[in-house]
């Protein structure tokens, strides 16, 4: 039996009174991370049914019966889902009203709580910072969050963001279990400020993310690892760099050629700094071809013990 995943085929049909019912079988859960893809797939399936109806094939198959497109769901509807169905219904009305649109579910698959399950629930204990390079040519007045080598998605214009480190943007994500979603202003609870969001994000990353320092193949060069999700965010965690500077007895030079590869060495050793820049360039060049979405920055950072501060070093640069 086909489902809404299968294009150009009618999943089920039945006759009810004077209706020719064309059923779309939806066996996918409505979850926040997948809802747009879910709606897109349903819309594509509906387009197939729409073509079947408006081409006259439905009338030819069942003359004199009113076509009905019925979405039959296995899992509970969310508010996002119900809004999607209403938009489909409005589209039909605005385009000649050649059929009815219904949505229901099989009672044996219940219980259902249709329309009362929210798609998103804010949880401040699961908020984390997300640091991104601002690739815009004029970073003080424009924002571009992906490298020019990568295909850029349409970023929502209401994401919570702050400018840091001159050329960088600090955003916030919530861990939803199977993935992360960016926090937008409409998602913030009433009265919850950006300052509170920022405080919660850094409290959570210190609590939950455990950074490890790994020595690289080249003696004297070190990397920061934490599982692949928050390496880049170490750039705004001063405690890590203060500890490493104290351990090495020197200021630090730090490179972030990809979002999951942060490498550093002692600032006072010019030979090691050259080796660091060379390693960063090789990583950047390789990922520009193979994984452009991982590219992070060609900037080089310096941590100074005297003022306990990390900043972009204007004299150093990754030059691939």
pLDDT value at position 168?
95
Least confident of 177-181, 209-213, 256-260: 177-181
Query: For 196-207, how does the pLDDT look when each residue is reduced to its tens digit (9 = 90+)?
Result: 999 999 999 999
Query: According to DSSP H, which parts of 212-267 are helical?
Result: 238-248
The Cα–Cα gap between 129 and 4 comes to 37
**CA distance readout (Å), 303 to 215, 225, 257, 261:** 18, 18, 17, 17
Query: For 281-300, how does the pLDDT look when each residue is reduced to its tens digit (9 = 90+)?
Result: 999 999 988 888 888 999 99
Q: Is the pLDDT at 152 greater than 60, yes or no?
A: no
Residues of the chain with CATH 3.30.750: 12-109
Please answer whether residues 66 and 100 qualify as being in contact, where contact means their C-beta atoms are separated by less than 8 angstroms: yes
Helix axes 35-54, 79-94, angle to 10 degrees: 20
Classified by CATH at the fold level, domain 12-109 comes out as Transcription Regulator spoIIAA (3.30.750)
Query: For 23-42, how does the pLDDT look when each residue is reduced to its tens digit (9 = 90+)?
Result: 999 999 888 888 989 999 99
Query: For 234-252, how does the pLDDT look when each residue is reduced to its tens digit (9 = 90+)?
Result: 999 989 999 999 999 999 9
Question: Model pTM greater than 0.85?
Answer: no
Query: For 31-88, how does the pLDDT look when each residue is reduced to its tens digit (9 = 90+)?
Result: 888 898 999 999 999 999 999 999 999 999 999 999 999 999 988 888 889 999 999 9
């Amino acid at each position: 039996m086909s489902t809404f995943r299968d294009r150009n085929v009618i999943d089920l049909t039945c006759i009810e009174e004077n209706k020719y019912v064309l059923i779309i079988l939806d066996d996918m859960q409505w979850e926040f991370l997948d809802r747009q893809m879910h709606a897109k797939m349903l819309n594509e399936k509906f387009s197939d049914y729409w073509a079947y109806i408006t081409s006259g094939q439905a009338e030819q198959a069942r003359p004199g019966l009113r076509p009905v497109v019925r979405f039959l769901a296995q899992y509970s509807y969310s508010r996002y889902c119900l809004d999607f169905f209403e938009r489909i219904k409005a589209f039909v009305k605005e385009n000649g009203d050649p059929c009815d649109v219904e949505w229901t579910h099989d009672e044996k698959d219940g219980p259902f709580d249709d329309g009362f399950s929210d798609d998103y629930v804010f949880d401040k204990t699961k908020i984390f910072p997300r640091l991104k390079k601002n690739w815009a040519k004029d970073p003080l007045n424009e924002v571009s969050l992906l490298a020019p080598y990568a295909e850029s998605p349409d970023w929502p214009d209401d994401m919570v963001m702050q400018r840091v480190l001159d050329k960088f943007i600090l955003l916030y994500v919530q861990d939803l279990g199977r993935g992360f979603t960016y926090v937008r202003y409409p998602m913030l609870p009433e009265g919850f400020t950006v300052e509170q969001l920022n405080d919660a994000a850094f409290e959570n990353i210190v609590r939950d993310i455990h950074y490890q320092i790994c020595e690289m193949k080249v003696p004297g060069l070190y990397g920061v690892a934490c599982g692949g999700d928050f390496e880049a965010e170490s750039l705004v965690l001063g405690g890590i760099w203060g500890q490493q500077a104290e351990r090495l007895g020197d200021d630090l030079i730090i490179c972030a050629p990809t979002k999951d590869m942060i490498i550093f060495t002692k600032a006072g050793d010019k030979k090691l700094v050259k080796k660091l820049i060379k390693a960063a360039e090789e990583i950047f060049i390789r990922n520009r071809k193979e994984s452009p979405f991982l590219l992070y920055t060609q900037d080089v950072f310096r941590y100074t013990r005297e003022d306990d501060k990390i900043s972009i070093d204007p004299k150093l640069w990754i030059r691939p």
